[in-house]
């Protein structure tokens, strides 16, 4: 191994180490949430993961975006197989080490090139749609500054990486035909072959420089891309599969019950129960039990995984009836705010230790009551999400806190609560009058 091989190995190890460090921070942030059991019915969960995450079933509901995304998705997975060869070549100083596969290798490289071109095409289409066409969900108030730049950065990076890959192959192909030392005869180049006439005008030395530059640019770009993912919405590349697996398999619209409230109701309905008996175990640390959620640690870990998995595509907001009718609510913003608050707490912990507390909260500082009460809990956002994110769970928990901890509910709801308490029904009629409607029948 020469000095360049040791430099390459060092770069790869540093990149992998940095990525692992960033992932550990994200895992720590996700685990700030409460515990919840999502290990039931593994066969159904695996089927959902295969259909939604692997099969992209929800993406193709919108065919143009769905097909373009599948091209990038398949290209990303398959083209990166070549990264293994590049890493081996970089460490041991070989060149196209899998070339001994002969015809199979030709098929693989040809497939990689076709997919690279399709990825390049899809990224150009997405860039044009996002920047030069008016698509409402890409013009929302929450897509400013970094969220808007993030999407463009990733598209430009992918375009550059695919261009470098094709340039590397084109210069490599010319060097092979010239019999230049080290450039093994291997591979088929159906796409980069169109670039060969242009590259043929360069000298051997210039071609070697171009090929080496494109080779380093491609692999280092992939390693940098790997470390860009954790600070980008594109971390869904990593989390989409587990997020779909752990998504709720209960019917949409079925709310979770609070154990404390359930115990109280059962006590009220049991004529033999001791009204002074403890209805639920007190928290182990002696803290007063809290109803609903005010901040990130009050949500459960799957809510927080949802926030990190959000692709900010806006499909949820585009089908939200509240948003469509001009209300302040945007399900996408709910997820973005949750992630931003989680990141803020994580940075505070890094700086001040595990006991870090500040005077901010998700409810109020990030998400307003007006946004929360605009939600109709129709679950259209949940149904539309390509990776089974559930903004409604977060909205309901934050509303529970407003009602049960702060007694802050809209006037209309307060009237309904009073009627239920006094009359056993949401209407302002006593139980004795319930059948009066039938007297004239």
Tell me the pLDDT tens digit for each residue of 82-116. 888 889 888 988 888 888 888 898 998 899 999 99
* pLDDT over 50 at 302, yes or no: yes
* Cβ neighbourhood burial of 416 (10 Å; 0-12, 13-18, 19+): middle
Residue 367 DSSP SS3: strand
How much is the pTM? Answer: 0.86
Which residue in the block uniquely carries the two structure tokens 């002969």? 102
Whole-angstrom distance, CA of residue 180 vs CA of residue 184: 9
390 with 287: CB under 8 angstroms? no
| Residue 440 CB contacts under 8 Å (≥ 6 apart), including other chains | none
* pLDDT over 50 at 381, yes or no: yes
Give the HSE-up count for residue 432: Cα atoms under 13 Å, Cβ half-sphere: 0
Which residue in the block uniquely carries the two structure tokens 């398959």? 78
DSSP tag of 287:
P
| pLDDT at residue 126, rounded to an integer | 92
Tell me the pLDDT tens digit for each residue of 138-169. 888 888 888 888 989 999 999 999 999 999 99
Residue scoring higher pLDDT (377 or 179): 377
- Residue 197 tokens, joined: 């006439």
Percent of the chain with pLDDT over 90: 55
When pLDDT is averaged across residues 28-38 and rounded to a whole number, the result is 93
What is the full DSSP assignment across 218-285? Answer: HHHHHHHHHHHGGGSGGGHHHHHHHHHHTS--SPTT-PPPPHHHHHHHHHHH-TTS-TTS--SPPPTT
Residue scoring higher pLDDT (432 or 340): 340
Q: What pairs with residue 300 in β-bridges?
A: 34
| pLDDT at residue 290, rounded to an integer | 79
109 with 189: CB under 8 angstroms? yes
Whole-angstrom distance, CA of residue 379 vs CA of residue 371: 15
166 with 116: CB under 8 angstroms? yes
- Count, residues in the chain: 441
Exposure class string for 331-366: b at 16+ Cβ within 10 A, else e: bbbbbbbbbbbbbbbbeebeeeeeeeeeeebbbeeb
Tell me the pLDDT tens digit for each residue of 303-336. 999 999 999 999 999 999 999 999 999 999 999 9
In the chain, how long is the greatest CA-to-CA distance?
102
When pLDDT is averaged across residues 403-410 and rounded to a whole number, the result is 89
- Helix ranges, 31-62 (H): 42-48
Where does the pLDDT of residue 419 fall: very low under 50, low under 70, confident under 90, or very high at 90 and above?
confident
Whole-angstrom distance, CA of residue 99 vs CA of residue 85: 10
Whole-angstrom distance, CA of residue 240 vs CA of residue 247: 10
When pLDDT is averaged across residues 28-40 and rounded to a whole number, the result is 93
Which residue in the block uniquely carries the two structure tokens 């940075």? 347
Phi/psi at 296 (5° precision):
-50, -45
Tell me the pLDDT tens digit for each residue of 248-299. 999 888 888 887 788 777 877 777 777 666 544 555 555 567 789 999 999 9
* Nearest partner of 36 among 311, 289, 304, judged by Cα: 304
Where does the pLDDT of residue 9 fall: very low under 50, low under 70, confident under 90, or very high at 90 and above?
very high
- As a whole number, the mean pLDDT across the chain is 89
When pLDDT is averaged across residues 407-411 and rounded to a whole number, the result is 87
Tell me the pLDDT tens digit for each residue of 194-232. 999 998 889 999 999 999 999 999 999 999 999 999 999
Which residue in the block uniquely carries the two structure tokens 């491609």? 218
Percent of the chain with pLDDT over 70: 96
* Cβ neighbourhood burial of 133 (10 Å; 0-12, 13-18, 19+): exposed
* Nearest partner of 223 among 29, 90, 336, judged by Cα: 90
* pLDDT over 70 at 344, yes or no: yes
Where does the pLDDT of residue 43 fall: very low under 50, low under 70, confident under 90, or very high at 90 and above?
very high
Whole-angstrom distance, CA of residue 312 vs CA of residue 333: 8
- Residue 330 tokens, joined: 């945007």
């Amino acid at each position: 191994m020469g000095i360049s091989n040791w430099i390459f190995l060092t770069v790869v190890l540093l990149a992998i180490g940095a990525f692992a460090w960033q992932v550990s921070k994200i895992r720590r942030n996700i685990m700030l949430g409460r515990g919840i059991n999502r290990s039931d019915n593994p066969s159904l969960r695996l089927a959902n993961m295969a259909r939604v995450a692997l099969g992209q079933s929800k993406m193709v509901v919108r065919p143009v975006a769905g097909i373009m995304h599948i091209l990038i998705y398949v290209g990303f997975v398959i083209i990166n197989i070549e990264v293994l060869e590049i890493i081996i070549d970089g460490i041991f100083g070989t060149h196209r080490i899998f070339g001994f596969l002969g015809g199979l290798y030709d098929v693989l490289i040809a497939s990689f090139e076709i997919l690279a071109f399709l990825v390049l095409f899809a990224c150009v289409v997405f860039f044009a749609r996002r920047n030069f066409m008016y698509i409402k969900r890409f013009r929302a108030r929450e897509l400013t500054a970094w969220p808007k730049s993030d999407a463009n950065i990733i598209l430009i990076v992918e375009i550059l990486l695919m261009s470098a890959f094709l340039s590397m192959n084109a210069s490599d192909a010319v060097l092979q035909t010239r019999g230049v030392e080290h450039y093994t005869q291997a591979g088929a180049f159906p796409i980069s072959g169109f670039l060969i006439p242009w590259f043929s005008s360069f000298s051997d030395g210039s071609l070697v420089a171009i090929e080496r530059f494109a080779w380093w640019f491609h692999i280092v770009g992939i390693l940098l891309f790997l470390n860009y993912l954790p600070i980008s919405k594109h971390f869904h590349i990593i989390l989409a599969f587990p997020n779909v697996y752990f998504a709720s398999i209960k019917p949409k619209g079925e709310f979770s019950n609070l154990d404390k409230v359930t115990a109280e109701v059962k006590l009220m309905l049991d004529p033999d129960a001791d009204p002074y008996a403890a209805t639920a175990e007190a928290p182990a640390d002696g803290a007063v039990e809290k109803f609903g959620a005010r901040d990130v640690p009050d949500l459960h870990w799957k809510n927080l995984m949802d926030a990190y998995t959000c692709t900010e595509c806006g499909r949820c907001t585009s089908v939200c009836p509240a948003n469509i009718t001009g209300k302040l609510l945007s399900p996408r913003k709910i997820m973005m705010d949750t992630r931003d608050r989680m990141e803020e707490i994580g940075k505070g912990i890094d700086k001040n230790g595990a006991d870090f507390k500040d005077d901010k909260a998700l409810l109020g500082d990030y998400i307003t009551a007006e946004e929360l009460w605009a939600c109709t809990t129709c679950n259209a956002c949940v149904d539309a999400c390509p990776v089974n994110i559930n903004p409604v769970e977060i909205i309901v928990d934050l509303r529970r806190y407003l009602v049960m901890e702060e007694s802050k509910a809209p006037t209309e709801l307060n009237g309904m609560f009073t009627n239920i308490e006094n009359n056993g029904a949401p209407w302002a009629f006593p139980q004795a009058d319930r059948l009066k409607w039938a007297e004239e029948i």
